[in-house]
Amino acid sequence: MSSDTPEARNDNTHPYRSLRNNVSLLGSMLGETMAQSHGEEFLASVERIRLLSKSGSNGEDGSWEQLEALLAGFETEQLGLVARAFAQFLNLANIAEQHHGLSREMDAVNSASRTLAGVMELLSQTGLDASAVQQLVSDLNIELVLTAHPTEITRRSLIHKYEEIQRCLGQLESPGLTNYERNRMDRRLRELIAQLWHTHEFRENRPSPVDEARWGFAVVENSLWQAVPDFLRRLDDALLAATGERLPLNAAPVQFSSWMGGDRDGNPFVTAKVTREVLLLGRWQAAALYLKTVDQLVQELSMIECNDALRELVGDTREPYRRAMKDLRERLRSWLSALEAFLDDRPANSGDLIRDVEEISRPLLLCYQSLCDCGMERIADGTLLDLLRQVRCFGINLVRLDIRQHSERHSAALSEITECLGMGRYDDWGEEKRRNWIEAELKNPRPLIPQHWSPSEDTQEVLDCCAVVVDQPADALACYIISMARQASDVMAVRLLLKAAGGGDSLPIAPLFETLDDLDRAPQVITDLLAAEQALGRLPEQQMVMIGYSDSAKDAGILAAAWAQYRAQEALLKVCDDAGVRLQLFHGRGGTIGRGGAPAHDALLSQPPGSLECGLRVTEQGEMIRTKLGMTGLAVKTLALYTSAVLEARTAHPPTPKPHWRDTMDRLGGYSCDEYRAVVRDDPRFLTYFRQATPEGELGALPLASRPTSRKKDGGIESLRAIPWIFSWTQNRLMLPSWLGAGAALARELEEQGDAVISEMFEAWPFFATRMQMLEMVYSKTDSRLSAHYDDQLVSEELMDIGARLRGQLDKDVRTVLKVLGQERLLEKLHWTRESLELRNIYTVPLNVLQAELLARLRRNADEQTRQAIMISIAGVAAGMRNTG
């Protein structure tokens, strides 16, 4: 299968020469595999489709119509094979591109070390002295939260093969390879690509929440476990070069948490039993990883000189370090055995459990200090230092778990309790009565739960979850998040339920503000909450608040949501500052622009001033985990990007919006929300159009995740989760949620107020400039011709005007945003991004065309073969677009 790269492919001086060569190599190997499996005639058909797509993209007359007709004439089985061909090529192109970003060719441009050194230089230019820079780095607090949202469409079996292909590409670039070694790598690549072609693309069944957690732990084991010490070595080197000081041994600038096995909002399969099992599995994985490294240290630390502190620990032994490591190894083995017994529901000695990370770190620190005291710093700073860094980052839990539940579940549980107590229904009370009752119960020493009471199954599950929470050792859990928190009592209710379970006083409870109304109301909710906490004599030093990007954008459109998120963060910072409480913001971003996604550097520099003072806590979701953290080199690069962006944002002091900027954004937010809701909410035909024009209904058949795609059966847009909402529009290339309302609002503002303020905002305000650049990226991925093709194939005649109107609006919006950007065409200044998208489009367009054909066939006459082919096409389009939801 050929790869379409410009003639510069053969130019040895071209900056992307190796990338082009790798794409061509993998494409040709895929073509060979397909020809061997299905014959040269099939390969020729695929090549004809590719050439028609290429001609169509160049505007050649008749190519588009020929492509449609050719694919429409194929049998469903053949369409499935064609879909596999183009989907696999896009996956291989992604591998090559990902590898290129980490290759030696690009190392001088974007390596982690260069990124960190650059930000250190920038910090020194701001006037900070060495001690201030040292303190800023030592105070770093970056927490990435891995979530199990259903956007990872690729099977783990395939992911492992993709990773091995990337490893082979790296080895092929190693200098000094013999012909035999090169031929061996070549054979291995062909073998892996053949394995890909003969492997089913999808899981047979949906993963369970425990399966999802195991996948998350595998990311830690295969990537993050080594990436963390590698990254910290680079940070240490950059800090030493800039200040003459090293990173403190107890520093943990990056940490990881997870929602996998803890997020029960709308997922009935995440139970208290599941949460307990996932917590144990995390500790088991941590124990196994620590044991492996300590085993290595037992072999390596054979030195005989030690200081008095280590001698006191190990006694009179010839090899003190080895003795210390052997003792630690035995302790870890006992811990591992006890965890295995608990997981298998077998009797175990609870005394064998490690509940404090200091049990692991203390002997390691003693060995490290002794080696340094005895002049063996080079040995101390090897594997032993890496292990100390890993212990500080991963602790005894590997990743901390977040618990998330919908506020209605807590209210329903309390209603059952108050009814049993003869007090009426908690749900029927006003906010003041709720808060007063909760405050009284928090002070009351008597048990809240009545004896001999039989709650409903749902309420029992809430109580069981609380029991699991309070039974955990310190640092096992990061926070308890309340979805759709709309008032202070929603937070206080969780505190009361945890008290009833016997603890939970120290666990942060974070309200999640998701809709436009919730964001606007958030400052008052936190004001009321802090007042109640102060009345109880328990005002916290720090309050966590989660900002939901996905649902607010689905509720009001991306521009209105972005401005509401910004305003809410500003107001929350002031509320907490007035109360003498530090605010920790938790950003619930997705991978796509419609769900708050943006390049880390741009996103962080566009935050309100002061919003990163408590560090950065942000979700990494679905396929973005694999894309950004799935391999050691990628993870090191990602951690360096986050670190440099946080350091720069904390010292660059982004401008506070001027009053006339605020007025402009208020108008833009209002206009864009009205435009968005006029389509999505107010047109009674829109829901039907959405379900006809996209594969939304068919997405439910994909075995992506344990969580259902909708909160309620047969609900409207409001009940649909943000991920399938965006995933669906990505597939038909209209990308509606990521732009609707924004361009129309800008056009109205420019017409009524002129362009002076908009131009000023674009030049001087990172928040606004980032929004415009994100719109440019979205528009570059849309394709009105393909959207119209989906309508022609799938939409009933009486709804066709909706799509036509939306595409007309899209064309107007592109022209408006180009005017703001001062450009003639999209991606005018992003040459490689434009080139990459144009190349991908040649392979993505046939997938879109055949997907529309397959959807039409399925809706006329459903059968499993067509359904499977559609699933392959969905995966292929996702690969071409580089994201799903």
Residues 6+ apart with CB under 8 A from 559: 668, 669, 672, 741, 742, 745, 771
Residue 503's CB: how many other CB atoms inside 10 A?
Answer: 15
Identify the DSSP state of 351. G
DSSP letter assigned to residue 207: P
Distance, in Å, from the CA atom of 680 to the CA atom of 772, rounded to the nearest integer, reads: 22
Quote helix, strand, coil % in the chain, to nearest 5: 65, 5, 25
- Amino acid identity, residue 550? S
Which helix (DSSP H) or strand (DSSP E) does residue 10 occupy? none
Q: Please report, in angstroms and rounded to a whole number, the separation of the first and last CA atoms in the chain.
A: 29
CA nearest to 49, candidates 868, 692, 853: 853
Extract the tokens encoding 867: 């359904």
Distances (CA, A) of 439 to 496, 503, 532, 866: 9, 16, 8, 58
User: Whose CA is closest to 363, among 324, 305, 314?
Assistant: 324
User: Catalytic amino acids?
Assistant: 149, 554
Measured between alpha carbons, how far is 510 from 667 in angstroms, rounded to an integer?
Answer: 31
3-class DSSP state for residue 837? helix
The closest of 854, 705, 565 to 212, measured between CA atoms, is: 705
d(CA 174, CA 14): 20
- Decide if 171 contacts 187 (C-beta within 8 A): no
Q: Any idea which residue has 């107007």 for tokens?
A: 812
Could you tell me the two tokens for 619?
Answer: 């979700």
Alpha-carbon dihedral sign for residues 307, 313, 316, 317:
negative
User: In 3-state terms, what secondary structure has residue 386?
Assistant: helix
